[in-house]
Every structure is written in structure tokens, then in C-alpha cells.
Amino acid sequence: MLEQHLAALPIILPLIAAPIALILGRSVLSWGFATLVSGLAFLLSWQLLSAALSEGVISYAVGGWAPPWGIELRVDAANAFVLLAVTAISTLVLVYSKHSIEKEVKATNHTLFYTAHLLCLAGLSGILITGDAFNLFVFLEISSLATYTLVSLASDRRCLTAAFRYLVMGTIGATFILIGVGLLYMKTGTLNMLDLAERIDLYDSSRTINTGLAFIMVGVSIKLALFPLHMWLPPAYTHAPSAVSAFLASTATKVAVYVMIRFIFTVFGIDHVFVDMGMGIILMVLAVVAIFKCSYMATVQSNVKTVLAYSSVAQIGYMILGLSLVSVSGLMASMIHIFNHALMKGALFMAVGAVFYRVGSVEIKDFAGLGRKMPLTMAAFTIAGLSIIGVPLTVGFVSKWYLVSAALEQDQWLVAAFVLVGSLFAVMYIGRVIEAAYFQKLPESRSSEDIKEVSWLMLVPMWVLVIANIYFGIDTSLTTEAANSASEWLFQTNNMLENKVMEGEVLEGHAIEEKAQEVSS
Amino acid sequence: MDFLDIVSSILLLAGVFFGLSGAVGLFRFPDFFTRIHAASVTDSIAAILIIGGLLLQTSFDLNTAKLVFILLFLLVTSPTASHALAKSARHGGLLTLAESSPQDKQESAK
Amino acid sequence: MNLWQALEPAQLITLSICVPFVGALLVIVTGKIPNLREAVTLITAAILFSIVLAITDYTFLGTTLELDVIELFPGLGISFNVEPLGVLFALVASFLWIVTSIYAIGYMRGHNEINQTRFFCCFALSISSVMGICFSGNLLTLFIFYEVLTLSTYPLVTHAGNDAAKQGGRVYLGILLSTSIVFLLFAILGTYALTGTLDFRAGGIFDDSHNKVVLSVLLVLFCYGVGKAAIMPFHRWLPAAMVAPTPVSALLHAVAVVKAGVFSILKIVIYIFGIEGLKDLATTDIMLYIGAATIVLSSCIAMSKDNLKARLAYSTVSQLSYIVVGALLASSIASAGAALHIATHAVGKITLFFCAGAIMVASHKKNISDMAGLGRKMPITFAAFTVGAISIIGLPPMAGTWSKWYLAIGALETDKFIIVAVLMVSSLLNIAYLLPIPIKAFFSKPAEGAKPWRWSQTKEAPLPILIALIVTSGCCLAMFFYLQPLVDLINLIPGVSTK
Amino acid sequence: MSFILDYYNYWIVVFLMMAGFYIVISANNLVKKIVGLNIFQTSVFMLYISMGKVTGGTAPIVAEGVTQYSNPLPHVLILTAIVVGVATTAVGLALVVRIKRAYGTVEENEFDNKDDVI
Amino acid sequence: MAEFIDLVLLAMLAMLALTALRIIFLKDLFAVVMLFGIYSFLSALIFLNLDAVDVAFTEASVGAGISTVLMLVTLAMTGRKEKQSTHSSLLPLFVVLVTGAALIYGTLDMPPFGHPDNPVHQHVAPRYIEESPKEVGLPNMVTSVLASYRGFDTLGETVVVFSAVIGVLSLLGVRRKKKKDLESGLETHRVLHVVAKNIIPLVILFALYVQFHGDFGPGGGFQAGVIAAAAFILYALVLGLPKAFAVVGPRFLQWMAAAGVLLYASVGLYSMYKGGQFLDYNQLAADPIAGQHYGIIIIELGVGITVFAVMLNIFYAFGSQAERSNVQ
């Protein structure tokens, strides 16, 4: 039973849990329930990843209708890997949010908070797993609506304008995706991604298809906050409740990156996107500019959450850069960074949230002297910060290593240099906070306040992520293996599609995929 | 059949004429109450005529019943709506053209 | 030495890194009781030295000590491999740690420093990472411990916590991290992309199939990437780091950290490029002359500095480039001189820093111009200073003579007469900026107005400081006469010989 | 001529979309932005429905004697999309109400000045 | 005949374009919202013209109905004038022109409008048109596809609606007024009271018709939910929110919204329990066609319940915010 429905359960579980959490009513109950469900989803996605690694691809036809007529769920190493990160972070954030939201969200809204969190989780899982272009749009909207809600739950009034801006940008992005999917459908008559991929290749240089590609790319870029479409992100992450920032920064944009990868590699095909449309160079330039501009912006902010938000945009630049290299190792670097960045940013935002919990503000000057008052929190911040910088023995170093290696493999020496120079900015923006925390004295006005370490319920998830930062920085076998097979899988699928078109043969249904599997095994 | 078609066409055309005249009135009349008057012409007589015309096009099946229901519904709701609007305006202190002072007229003319 | 025979030889490497690390933890645990804490430091230092001696033994016996710890990337991980050059550096560092610990106890107490626990803890951590650098078996391991060293010394630099210290810390971290991330990591990744390996191998890992232009670029990247070698223009961090307490300046910024830098360059030259391979590269000469220019320029800057520690810092910058020049001369004898200079300069410069610290503790003086006549109050200190200075200058009968000798011979052998000239000029400059200090202290009288308020009470520094001073200056002298073991060690390095 | 006949309604739909899009990004008033968003989306719906039309076909409900039906799939998609649109509108308007209460205005340039940027 | 239909379509499209242009330049937000209502109605007519009867129905009830009502309530609180914009409109214009140009470029290669040989009519859809009456057993193909073939989308859609109510409630909450507010409701309108009280049952009856007739004609859970909500909204408008709360309280509506989603999902879970895939209605009964029937009826009911509860609750949330003094 479990085996059979493994692919569907990570979506269905939080989807059903959300209304139940609302019915439970009491905030403690719904917290416990949501955490439990998220933990279960994590276990399921672990199963799913191991199944995907051993079996290749798992296809699930919802309603028993074979694709392309029904909606298909498709799990391969790539999305199972991202799903694992998403569910893990979600569970940790839920544990963390119990106390964190006490100070940031009105007590009457706690149940709604957990409900919205579960909805967001369901939406993100749905985006990852679904194999249907329109179904993706639906889940995108579920997660987006839940996200707007979560952002607007903070007590600061600025969260409202941030959420509104996010809503407008997000809806424009979603509508662009809708237009793009519509254009593809118009030309091919199908919505199933695999089926789309096969039919798109029949019209190699169709203007409609190209326009559809452009609209989907722009729409997804808004969702993943690719420079210069990132303007919604810094205010949203700054003013959202800290638990929400931690969750979104480490999952939502990553999922959007995966969507982009998926459209490029399994729908349009790299030849089409990179060779015919020249998307590679555009993405590469935007990514490099994002790395520099937003890293620089991060160094001049005074609010630590804004610093981290800009840093997120810059880090997304790294992911897109890896993708734009168009090689197995570049894609693998992106996949690894998706996972690793979730670990780092989650820990950082949680640490900042803990500071907010005690101090009530997260300006850099408020961090003065906290190294003594909140040693565990600041130690967590420091280690995760070192990870962002890319110091060896942390996950940040692993990401950077693979990214630069991938760039050098393509003889992109300049790009490799940009990546490394970009990480210098991280030294600056993380350094400012650490310096304030450890080498400045607590201001006189604060000395009377009772600032102490936060409760274990907040510390444990934070430190789990910190330890994961170090563990996966030393023992890289799991992440490397998963990311490697994910990117190899994506390339193989892509190659199979393109070979088939060259031979001029059209395979029905999933024959193509079986072929790809034969080759991979 | 021909005869019914002709009658139905006449009814429809008449309905369209009243609808249009109501729309023109809505734009051209000078104050709120007169405009409501114009609008309710569209609502009542135009609707009756058009639906009547359409009724003649059907062959007395389910669609006929639906049209009759729509007609009844409109006959109840649109006068009520006009009435409620006018009454609210009156309660809100809005004056008719005859009641308002010359200065107001000049201002409203602008 | 026999203590460690029960162990598997390769485990000694693990021990050499773990012992200081465990020491650091124990320091934290015992932080509340200063006497116990410092006993822990001393015992740890002694144990470490005995371990390194045992490793030295194995090296002379020809046993290869190798250890693969963990695989970070497929086929590439943290691994250790003991070779003579590393042993030499480890010997110097671990021996001087003992001396410095004694000194630090006197200094920190005499100076009433704050946060002493953090100080001793970070100190032990940095020694731990120095050991990692010494025995690293590939570039990745070297890089990792290099970064750990930078980060663990940052709290030591900003120790005082005031604005000057923070500013110094920013420059320190800024330059060292930037150069290592941008240049060194880039060069390492480039090397990996070219050869598919990062292991240190005798004779180098590059061969004729690799593009010489790319290799030339890599050489420059490596030289500047190792910011700790303080080649101009990336030398600013070293004077900036002088805001740290003197024991830090003494051990780390005269011995451990800066030597880790030049050691890395030497190791890269010998084991990555290979001394032979270096000869064909276009940039070898360019870097060589930049090194030479650093020697001369920083000596000139040193002369203009009145602050004693700043003068010593620039002197260090200059002396480090000796080693870089020695490495880049691409001759076996010059490389031997460079290796030897690691040891001889270490004992000389640490003596000078000890003296500067002693003066600071005893009389609270930092500027040379205020030291006139101080020699009569503190004769032992200034005698030691003289010994150290002569060693740095390279005059017999002090240790520095030998390393400069081999360097000069190497330069002559490769027909680089400019380098010979630079070495000579530099020695003269050394005389000009170092010797006037003891002369002034012994033979001038302090100007009346310049006398501090406690002139009559000024006396020698506390005993632990004096012990440390005497030991290191004794070493300067002893190494002139009993150099053979070190030379034997250096001759074991593949491709390097004193003949 | 057939070229125009083939595409004219797509062109008008594109024009409508762009009108909506322009309102969204240029309007200063948040309510008007939401109206713009709705117009934008409604026009996209028209694009979908247009592609589902078959000339001479009828609504996709089985009827006697009809062989040519319009394509039901776009209709299904757009039913879903309309719902998504109204959901977004409701949340957006709720935000507008809260912004009005918190800032006293719903003009973008006015509340921007009331806080530090970001 | 074909030419004539084209003209009607063209005329309606032209009216739409005019409406859109007018909205751009109008500063009176009340007029903007009313024009939007008109825009929505016109597009519903176009949908009808293009054979999309279900879509037209939904667009009329949602776009022209619920959306417009919500916008008006919002306007009552935020004021009806747009102020002069200070920032330049050149950049937006540029962005729009580029986007539009891209789309026009895309249209040049599109399959011609209305042609039966277009790929959309050739690939997936034929199965729906030809097989669905046999496989699912419903005359309305839209309902078949919506509820069965793409049932997962519809579950997602229901959850989207549910998310919306979570968002609105967390932002606004439903305020219960303690003392009875004299101004609430339109107490003085005797005629309105009588008419409303008589019409509301009819509307609810109609909603039920739409709910259960959706299998055979246009309609279904979504439209029915909206219509039923409209009946209660009318009740709340005429008699005041407190009285409406007495009939269906906001708390109860929250449960209803959740229950609708759960009802839908439970069909999926039950089919999993029976050994099929998620939402595989064939498993619900021995006869697959009967199974499909049961499944579709239940999930449509779930959709209807959720949509009704959500729409009404959203109206409650907005309505309880509005200060009557602003309502003109």
C-alpha cells in the first residue's frame, strides 16, 4: 500500500492535514499535528529518494487515468532530492516556530499559521512531484497563497506592504507561466510534461513555442527571484515572521529553481534552450550580476534579515550559474547548492529569529554583545555564516568547489573567478554581524534587560541544521550521490529525447523513458 | 413558423430599442432620480420584450420554462433594486433637480 | 621518544593534530583556575613536542607515514603524508610553542590581559591547524587547515576588543580570506581541473603536456593566494596584526602563521610544480623579482617605523621574501637555504619579539625613540635582542648566517646576480634598522623630559619572560654550531640538497 | 485576409492582456492594481478559451445529432484558473484593507514614504 | 452564418477593449470597479460565444459577482478616488510594449483560430470527447474532465479556495459586533425585506439545481457554491451581519470549508483503500461507471460546500470591517 502510493503521499498528506489542523483549533494541538505530519512527509520523502535512486523513475497516474489524459506524478532522483530538503526544513521550522511565533504572530492566528504552513508544504511538494504543466500552476498558486498569508502574519505593519508587493509580483509570475503553458498547449495539444517534450521537438523553431518558453522562463524567474526580478524578495523576507523567513528562504525559491531546471531539461531540451535560444549566456550574465549586485546590497544593509534576504538572491545566482553551464557537473553543482543553501539559510534565519525573540529587533547594532548573552545562538549563526562564506569543512565549501570545478571544466575561467570573488562579499556581510556580536559590548541601555539564551525548542532545530552544515560538509557522499544521479538522469532524459527526434521516430507514452532507464541501469 | 419568427423579431427589436434608449437616458438625464428612471426602463420593458421575443423562438421545452423563470425573477428584482436605490439616495440626503438650489445646478452642470 | 613506540606510526599524525585540539578544550574546561589552565597549556606543548620528535625519528628511519582521513569529494579528501620539509616546520613550531607558552604566562599576567582563556584556547587551536598544514598530504588538506588557521587566529588579533584591534582584525581577515578564496582556491581548483589530482608528489604533478602559460598564471595565483607569505602588495595584514598581544605576534606572526605561508609556497614549488618544472615558467622570474623588491622595500619601510613591533613586522615581511626568493630561484641549494631560513629566522625573530614584549611589560614603552638608556635597566633583555638582531642580519656566530649563505650560493649558481646584490643590500639595511636599537639602549642616556614617571622602578621583566628570552637567544647561538641534524633533514627532501 | 481572420481575436486578446498588465504595474492605487490583475487574468482565460473553439462546433455537452464539439480541456483549465484568480483577489483585497488601516492610505507612493525603504 | 458570428465576437471584443482602455485612464475607483464588472460580464458572453458554457457561468458569478462585491466593500473602506501618480509611466509602458510584442510575435505561428485540425483538437482532447461518455458516463464532458480525468487539479483548486479563506481570516478576522448596531442591515427598506426573504429560498433551490445538474448541463459544485453564498450574502446585506451570523456562524463556516476539502480527499483515500490509485473512482463501486458517478457526485458536493463556506466567510470578513459611514 505504502509502496504503491509513495509518490502521491508527500502531497496528499499535508494537503489533508491542513484542514484538519484548522479544525483542531487549539494552537498547541495544531502545532503538534502539523509537526507530526511534516515529519511523516520527511520520512516518506526519504523513502522516495531511496526508491528513486534504486529504481530510476516512479510514475503515478492520479485517478487511474494514464497520462497524458490524466494527471501524472513523476518522481526521479532530482525532485526527490529537493523534496527531501523541503520536508526536512519544514519539519525543523515547525518545531522551531512553536516559540518563535509567540512574539511575532498574534495568538489568535497561531492555528491559521500552522494551517497555512501545511498548505504551503503541500503546494511545494505538489510543484516538485507533478508531471503535468497545468497541475504545476495549481500547486504553485496553493503555495503562493499560503506564502502571502504567512508573510503577512507578522506584527510589523511593513509586512503588509511586503506581502502585497509579493502578491502582485507572484501573481504576475504565475500568470506568465499560465500564458506560457497555454502557448505550449496550443501548439502541442498536451499538458503532460513528458508528452510536451516529445511534441515540442516536432516544431523545432516555432515562434509560438519560443514565446511560450520565454514566458515560462520569465514567470519562473519572478518566482525564484532571479535578478532583476527579485525586488519582492528582500522586503518579504525581512518583514515576515522569522520562522517563515527561515522556511521560505530555504525552500520556496529552491523549488522554483527546480521548476526552471525541469522545464529546461525535461520539457524544452537543452539544445533548444541553450543552443537555439541562447538562453545560457543570458542566464549566466544575470546570475553573475545577481551575485555581485545583491551581495553588495547585502553588505550595506543595517537589518540582518535584509542582509540575509539579499544574500539569498545572490545565492540563487550561484544556482542559476551552475545551471547555465550546461553540463552534468554544473547541474550537479546547482542541485547540491539547492540542498546546501537550504541548510545554511535555514540555520541563519533561525538564529536571527532567536535574536528577535529575545531582543525584539534585528538591526546589526542590536547584535552588540550577544556573543556572551546568547552563546549557542550566535555560535550557530557563526558556523552557518562561515558556511555561506564557503569555509572548508562546511557545506558552503562543497557547493563552491563543485561550482568552480564545473566552470573550469568548461574552460570558463572568468566565471570561476567571479564565483570566488563574489564570495568575498559574504565575508563582509557575515563578518559585520559576527564582529558586532563578539567584539562589541552590550550597550548600557540593554544591560538591564533580561537577554538570555532561547528555549531548547528553538535551539534544537537550529543546531540540527548547523550540525548538518558541518556533517554534509565533511561526508559529502549522500548529497553528491543524489545530486549526481539527479543531474545525470536529467541529462539522459534530455539526450534520449533529442536522439529520438533526430531519428525522426515518435514514441508513444513512456516508451522513451523506459529506454532512458535501460541506458542508465 | 414564419409568423412567429416575425413577431419574435419585432419584439426583440423593440426590446433593443428600449434598451438603447435607457442607456442614452442614463447618460443624458440631469440628476440621479431621472437616471434611475431611465435605467429601470431597460430593466423592465426591454427585458420583458427581449425575453418575450426569445420565448417565441423556443419549442416549449425546458428552455421555455427557464426563460419564464428568468422573466419572473427579473420582474420581481429589478423594481425592488430601483426602489432601494432611490430610497437610499433620498435617505442619504440627495435632492431632486426641482428641489435643489440654482447654485447646485450650476455646479452639477459643470 | 620511546613513549610513542607502542602506537601505529601513522597515528602519530592524528595525535599531533588532536593533542593541541584537546588541549584547547581542556583550557576551556579549566578556564576558571588560571594555574591549572596554564599547566594544561605547558603539558600539552611538551607532549606535542615529544610527538613531533617521534615523527622526526621515523622520518630519519625512512618510514613513510600516511593517513587518509575522509573523502570529501570522489577521489579527493583529507589526507596526511609526512615529508621532511613538514617535519622541519613542525619541529620549529612545536618547540617554540613550549617557549612561547612560558613567555605568554609571564606576559599575560604581567600585562593584566582580559579573556585569557579565549587567548590560550585559540592559541592551541592555531597550533593544531599548523600541525595540519605541516603534515598535509594534498593541496585540499593544506587549504582547509590554512583557512582554519586564519579563522582561529582572528580572535587573537582582535583580542583587545577596541577599535584599533577591530580595524586590525578586519584588515587581517579581509586580506587573508580574500587572497585565499580568490587566488588560492582558484589555483587549487585550476590545478585539479588540469591534472585531476592534488597530491603532493616528489617532482611535481605537472608535466610537459600542460600549457606553460596556464601554469605560469597558476604560479602567480599560488604565490599571491598564500597571503600569509606577505608578498607585496598583500603584506598589509602583517603590520595590522601587530595589535595583538605580543606572544601572538611572537609565535604566530613571526613563526607559525607567516611560516605556514612561506612553507606552503615552498611545498607547492617543490611538490606541485617541481623545482625543475619551475624553470620553464615565464612568471617565475617575475615573482622572483617581486620577492626581491619586497625584501628591499619593506626593509626601507622598517627603517622609518618608530614603533618597535611595527619595525619588526616589516622586518618579518622582508625576511619572508627571502624564503619565497629561495623557493623561486629553482635551484636545489637555494631551496635548502629557504627551508633552513624557516628555522633560523624563526628563532631569531621570536627572540626579538620576546624582547619587544618584555620591554612593553617592564616599562610600557612601544617606541624606539623612548628606549634610550633602557639597556642599563634591562641588560638581559637587550643582550638577547642583540643576539637576535645579529642572527637576523646573518652575521656569525649566529644561526642566520647559514641560511643566507645557502641562499646566496643558490643565487650565484643560477647566475642571478641581482638577487645576490639584493641579499647583500638587505643585510646592510638590516644592520641599519636593527642594531641602532640596542646601541641606543645601552649607550645613550634618556633625555630628561622623556623619562617616564616610574623610571627608577623600571627593572627586568618577570622571570618566565626572561627564561623564554634566554632559551631562544641560546638557540640562535647553538644553531650556528650544531646545525647538522637540520641539514640532514633538509637533504632528505626530494630534489633539495645543500650541496 | 485569411491571415487576419485566423488571428484577429488573439491580437485583441493580447491587447487586453497588456492593458491589464499595464494597469497592474503602473497604477498607484492598490485597489486599481487588483482590478488590473483581474483584467490581465481574465484576458489570459480568453486566450485559452479561444484555442478550444472549433468553428461550427458546439458546447461540449453530449447532444443528439451533434458530431463537432469544442475542446473541453481548456474549459476545465480555465474553470480552475478562475477560482485561483478569485482566491488571489480576495487575499489581495484583504491586504489592501489592512494596509489602509495601518497606513491610512492605499496609494503606493504615500505609504512608501511612511517607512524606511525595505 | 460564420461571418455573422465572427462579427458578434468582434463587436464584443471591441467593447472589451474600450472598457479596458477606459479603466486605464479613469481615476474614479467606483467607476473602475463597475467597469470591471462590465468587463467580466462581457468576457462571460465571449466565453459563451466560444462554446465555453461552464466557464461563462463561472466568470459571470465570480468575476462580475463575488470579485466585484469584494472590491466594492474594499472601496467603501479605502475611498473611491485614485490620487495622481508621481512616478513616470514610461517604464511600465516599455515593459508592456515589449511583453506585448513578444506575444504578437508568438501569435504569428499559432494554429489558426477555430480550425478543427489544430493540435489541441487532435492530440489529447479527442479521447475526452469520444470516450468520456462511455468511460465516465456523463454527457457534460467538462464535468467529466474536471472531476475525473483531472480530478487532482480540482482538488488543488478546492485547496486554493481554502487557502484564500485562511489568508483572509488571518488578515481580517471576523469581528462580531457586541451591541446591536442600528445601522446594520437595511432595516428601513420594507420592500427589500419582503422581496429578499422570498427570493432567497429560490436562489438556494437554484444553487442545488446547479449543484446536481452539473453532470448534465453547465454547472457544478463551484458555481453552486457561489450562488448559495450569494443568497446568504443577500441575506446579510438586507438584514445585517449579526442576523446572518445567527443563521450560519463564521466558526461553523470554517469547519464547513475544511469539511468540504476533507470530503473530497476522503474519496481519494477510499479509492486508495480499495486498491486503486488516488481519486480512482472506478474502485468505488463494482461497476466502474457507477463508481465514477458516485465519485463525481461526492467530490462536486465537497467542492460546493467548500466554495460556499469560503465565499460567505470571506464576505463576512470584509463586511464586518466596513464602516457604514463610508458607504454611500
pLDDT reported for residue C447: 64
Q: Looking at the structure, tell me whether residues E107 and E247 fall in a common domain.
A: no
DSSP labels for A480-521? HHHHHHHHHHHHHHHHHHHHHHHHT----TTHHHHHHHHHH-
Nearest alpha carbon to residue E250 among E176, E167, E179 = E176
* Contact in structure between C322 and C407 (CB atoms under 8 Å): yes
Reduced to 3 states, what is the DSSP secondary structure of residue E204? helix
Place of cell 481519494: E268
User: Is E179 a domain residue?
Assistant: yes
Does the CB of A133 have a partner CB in chain D at under 8 Å? no
> Residues 264-303, chain E: which have Cβ within 8 Å of D?
none
Kindly compute the dihedral angle of the four CA atoms of residues A203, A206, A212, A214, in this order, to the nearest 10 degrees: 120
Partner C contacted by A406 (CB < 8 A): no
Select from D53, D78, D91, D103 the residue whose CB has the most chain A CBs within 10 Å, as the one to mutate to test that interface.
D91
Whether the CB-CB separation of C310 and C437 falls below 8 Å is answered with: no
B and A adjacent (3 or more CB pairs under 8 angstroms): no
The residue type of C33 is I
Is E202–B83 a contact, with Cβ atoms under 8 angstroms apart? no
Q: Are residues E148 and E271 in the same domain?
A: yes
Residues 438..477 of A with a Cβ closer than 8 Å to C: which? 438-439, 441, 474-477
- Is A165's pLDDT higher than 80? yes
Q: How many domains does chain E have?
A: 2
Contact of A435 with chain C, judged by CB distance below 8 Å, is answered with: yes
Contact criterion met (CB < 8 Å) for A427 and C178: yes
The range of the structural domain enclosing residue E287 comes to 144-328
Could E145 and D72 be called an inter-chain contact, meaning their C-beta atoms sit closer than 8 Å?
yes
Q: Is the pLDDT of residue C164 over 90?
A: no
E182 confidence band (pLDDT: 50, 70, 90): very low
Query: What single letter denotes the amino acid at residue D110?
Result: E
Binary contact (C72, A476; C-beta < 8 A): yes
Cβ–Cβ < 8 Å for E54, E142? yes
Q: Which residue has the higher pLDDT, C112 or D50?
A: D50
Does residue A345 surpass a pLDDT of 90? yes
Q: Is residue E136 part of a domain?
A: no
Q: Are strands C66-73 and A58-61 parallel, antiparallel or unpaired?
A: unpaired
Question: Which residue does chain E place closest to B82, by CA atoms?
Answer: E192
Query: Does the residue E229 lie in any domain?
Result: yes
Per the CB < 8 A criterion, the answer to whether C194 and C278 are in contact is no
**Nearest residue on chain A to D80, judged by CA atoms?**
A138
Average pLDDT over residues E119-138: 84
Cell output for E283: 474502485
**Confidence grade of residue C53 (pLDDT, cut at 50, 70, 90):** confident
- Grid cell locating C161: 576588543
Buried b (16+ CB within 10 A) or exposed e, C276-287: ebbeebebbeeb
CA distance E73 to chain D (A): 9
Confidence class of residue C177 from pLDDT cuts 50, 70 and 90? Answer: confident
Number of domains observed in the structure of chain D: 1
Residue in C186, C179, C191 with CA at minimum distance from that of residue C150: C179
Mean pLDDT throughout E214-228?
86
- Measured between beta carbons, the chain A residues lying within 8 angstroms of C71 are 477
- A218: Cβ–Cβ under 8 A, 6 or more apart, which residues? A173, A176, A229
Average pLDDT of chain E to the nearest whole number: 85
Q: Are A476 and C72 in contact (CB under 8 A)?
A: yes
Rounded CA separation A311/A298 (Å): 6
- The confidence score (pLDDT) of residue A517 equals 53
Amino acid identity of residue D1, one-letter, is M
Nearest CA of chain D to the CA of A370: how many Å?
25
Alpha helices in C7-138 (DSSP H): 11-29, 34-61, 84-111, 116-135
Burial class of A281 by CB neighbour count within 10 A (0 to 12, 13 to 18, 19+):
exposed
Lookup: cell for B81: 433594486
Residue A401 sits at the chain C interface (C-beta within 8 Å): yes
pLDDT digits (tens, 9 = 90+) for A92-144: 999 999 888 888 888 888 999 999 999 999 999 999 999 899 999 999 999 99
Please indicate, yes or no, whether residues E200 and E328 belong to a single structural domain of this protein: yes
More confident residue, E189 or D33: D33
Contacting A residues, span 14-43, partner chain D, CB-CB under 8 Å: none
More confident residue, C373 or C14: C14
What are the DSSP calls for E100-168, one per residue?
Answer: HHHHHHHHTTSPPTT-TTSHHHHTTHHHHHHHHHHHT--SBHHHHIIIIITHHHHHHHHHHHHHHHHHH
pLDDT band at E198; cut points 50, 70, 90? confident
Residue with cell 503588509: A160
The contacts of residue E22 (CB under 8 Å, 6+ apart) are: E35
Chains that touch B (3 or more CB pairs under 8 A): E
* Alpha-carbon torsion angle A113, A117, A122, A123, nearest 10: 100
Q: Pick the most confident of E10-24, E119-133, E174-188, E208-222.
A: E10-24
Q: Does B84 touch chain E (CB under 8 A)?
A: yes
* Nine cell digits for residue A8: 502521491
The size of the D-E interface in CB pairs under 8 A is 297
Q: Which residues pair with C136 in a beta bridge?
A: C80
**Bridge partners (DSSP) listed for residue A73:** A60, A130
Weakest mean pLDDT among A390-394, B20-24, C326-330, C454-458: C454-458
Cell numbers found for residue D47: 486566450
Instruction: Give which of E305, E141, E316 is closest to E224, Cα–Cα.
Output: E305
Q: Please tell me the distance in Å from A306's CA to the nearest CA on chain D.
A: 8
Taking CB atoms and an 8 Å cutoff, what residues of chain C touch A393? 144, 148
The C-alpha cell at C96 is 617554540
Instruction: Give CA–CA dist E214/E212, Å, rounded.
Output: 5
Any B CB within 8 A of E186 CB: yes
Contact at CB, D42 and E83, closer than 8 angstroms: no
Instruction: State mean pLDDT over B60-79.
Output: 86
Per-residue pLDDT reduced to its tens digit, A25-49: 888 899 999 999 999 999 999 999 8
pLDDT at B41: 77
Specify if E126 maps to a domain.
Answer: no
- Contacts of residue C281, Cβ cutoff 8 Å, sequence gap at least 6: C212, C215, C216, C219, C273
Q: What interface predicted TM-score (ipTM) does this complex get? A: 0.87
**Among candidates C280, C283, C265, which has minimal Cα distance to C326?**
C265
Q: Do D51 and E118 touch (CB under 8 A)?
A: yes
Say whether the C–D interface has 3 or more Cβ pairs within 8 Å.
no
Report the pLDDT value the prediction gives residue B110, as an integer from 0 to 100: 46
- The list of chain D residues with pLDDT below 50 reads none
- Residues A357/A387, Cβ–Cβ less than 8 Å: no
What is the rounded CA–CA span in Å between residue A159 and residue A161? 6
How many angstroms separate the Cα of A337 from the Cα of each of A243, A317, A322, A402, A441? 21, 11, 9, 9, 36
Residue among C217, C279, C251 nearest C416 (CA): C279
pLDDT tens, residue by residue, E131-154: 888 888 888 888 888 888 898 999
The 10s digit of each residue's pLDDT in A439-460 is 777 777 776 667 788 888 889 9
On whether both E305 and E168 belong to a single domain, the answer is yes
E6 contacts in chain D (CB < 8 Å): 5
Q: What residue segments make up the domains of chain C, in order of their start?
A: 2-491
Task: Output the pLDDT for position A124.
Answer: 94
Question: Which residue is it, cell 582561529?
Answer: C152
Q: Could you tell me the CA-to-CA distances from C223 to A317, A458, C256, C322 in Å, in that order? A: 30, 45, 18, 14
Q: Do D31 and E78 touch (CB under 8 A)?
A: yes
**A60 forms bridges with which residues in the sheet?**
A73
Q: Average pLDDT in the A5-10 region? A: 88
Q: What is the pTM of this model?
A: 0.89
d(CA E67, CA E38): 12
| Statement: residue A151 has pLDDT above 70 | yes
Which stretches of C281-378 are DSSP H helices?
A: 282-304, 308-328, 332-363, 374-377
Between helices E288-321 and E125-135, what is the axis angle to 10°? 110
DSSP string, C174-200: HHHHHIIIIIIIHHHHHHHHHHS--B-
> What angle do helix axes C379-393 and C417-434 make, rounded to 10 degrees?
170
User: Is chain A adjacent to chain D, meaning 3+ CB pairs within 8 angstroms?
Assistant: yes
What is the band of E283 on the pLDDT scale with cuts at 50, 70, 90? confident
Q: What is the phi-psi region of residue A504: left when phi exceeds 0, alpha when psi lies from -120 to 50, beta otherwise? A: left
Could you give the CA distance from residue A48 to residue C85 in angstroms, rounded to a whole number? 51
CATH number at residue D38: 1.10.287.3510
